[in-house]
Amino acid sequence: MSAHSEGLSSELDAVPAPASERLPLGALLALAMAAFITILTEALPAGLLPQMAGSLAVSEAMVGQLVTVYAVGSLVAAIPLTAATQGVRRRPLLLSAIAGFAIANTVTTFSASYALTMVARFVAGVSAGLLWALLAGHAARMVPESQKGRAIAVAMVGTPLALSLGVPAGTFLGTLVGWRVCFGIMSLSAVILMIWVRIKVPDFAGQASGQRLPLARVIATPGVGAVLFVVLAFVLAHNILYTYIAPFLAAAGMAASTSRVLLVFGIASLIGIWIVGVLIDRHLRTLTLASTLLFGLAAAVLGAAGQVPLLVYAAVGVWGLAFGGAATLFQTALARRPKTR
């Protein structure tokens, strides 16, 4: 969520590797799993505030800062790391980012210190910034031009799955066996994913020194600034709504319905990414505009009629529909921007 705008990886400009008409699902699903771990690592503390606060001997508000420091790490590291690693081969770089999650979540699992946990979360955020800059470009390079949007959609499916299934499941598991077990499972999952990536995901060369573009020139490319502005506004609005949906529903007298509301959001998100995956290669601009407008409409309805349960469910469903494929749409828009040489 915090780093969808960080898809300015240099590999988006590279010539795609030859591929058959069938999508390389094994490799793309490995990338989707990477996105799943990234989002779940970011958001899980929000669902485990009481348990983590008691264990680390801090307030719930302080535990909430574990989400903030993750986002800060992602934000401050993404662009410098992307620029510094343009020439590095892609699969080793991807494995390094996943290893960062394995290390950070392992430290979080065993840490009894709030300060050490904060450092681990910052490292996880740095890994997220690098990984978001790799995923879309790596997926696009596996397939022909005509299938790039569909490939990116598969690679990004881990994002709505993490929000709709991963966070609720992790929260439930945390209440049963403790929050440390949840982070331990994510560490183990990251190690397994590294093996999966090494076996199934193809490697690609980084850019030669003569092909690398300065960041300022990339941002000046027609269309890039507009896409990044929309991404920033969209993701910021989504994060605010998602973070505070529980108190919003409580104020509306729907506190007991929070899980059902989030289930509606999750199901609608999956439908949204399916629609985008089917249509994106032919209707990228239309889908992007529709997603943005639908999200704005949903937010407006929640603000104006948030006391009416039926309208709340409808608005959350529209919000999920708009959000499900948003990351795919924005990443594909960047991948298809006019090339500057």
Can you tell me the mean pLDDT for 17-36?
Answer: 82
Please state the pTM of the whole predicted model.
0.76
Q: CATH code at 180? A: 1.20.1250.20
Alpha-carbon dihedral angle through residues 134, 35, 297, 318, given to the nearest 10 degrees: 140
Alpha-carbon span 212 to 207, nearest angstrom: 6
Distant-in-sequence, close-in-space partners of 289: CB < 8 Å, separation ≥ 6: none
Give the confidence band of 45 by pLDDT, cuts at 50, 70, 90.
confident
DSSP per-residue string spanning 19-60:
--SS--HHHHHHHHHHHHHHHHHHHHHHH-HHHHHHHHTS-H
* Residue 15 DSSP label: P
340 found inside a domain: no
| Residues in the chain, overall count | 341
341 found inside a domain: no
Joined together, the tokens standing for residue 259 give 């899980």
pLDDT given at position 3: 47
pLDDT given at position 261: 83
Would the pLDDT of 9 be above 50?
A: no
Residue range 82-109, pLDDT digits in tens: 777 888 899 999 999 999 999 999 999 9
Alpha-carbon span 152 to 218, nearest angstrom: 21
Percent of the residues in the chain that have a pLDDT greater than 70, as a whole number: 86
Nearest alpha carbon to residue 51 among 186, 178, 187 = 178
Q: ∠ CA 323-273-187 to the nearest 5 degrees?
A: 85
Residue range 168-227, pLDDT digits in tens: 788 788 888 999 999 999 999 999 999 999 999 999 987 766 565 665 665 556 666 677
- The CB density around residue 168, as the number of other CB atoms within 10 Å, is 15
219 found inside a domain: yes
Can you tell me the mean pLDDT for 36-62?
Answer: 87
**Mean pLDDT for the chain overall:** 82
Would the pLDDT of 8 be above 50?
A: no
Give the lowest-confidence range in 125-139, 233-247, 271-285, 304-318: 233-247
Boundaries of domain holding 167 = 4-335
pLDDT given at position 316: 92
129 found inside a domain: yes
pLDDT given at position 156: 84
- Looking at the 3D structure of the chain, how many domains does it have? 1
Higher pLDDT, residue 14 or 261: 261
Alpha-carbon dihedral angle through residues 302, 170, 66, 131, given to the nearest 10 degrees: -90
Would the pLDDT of 341 be above 60?
A: no
pLDDT given at position 297: 95
Distant-in-sequence, close-in-space partners of 85: CB < 8 Å, separation ≥ 6: 93, 130, 206
Give the lowest-confidence range in 126-130, 160-164, 176-180, 310-314: 160-164
Give the confidence band of 56 by pLDDT, cuts at 50, 70, 90.
very high
pLDDT given at position 312: 93
pLDDT given at position 132: 86
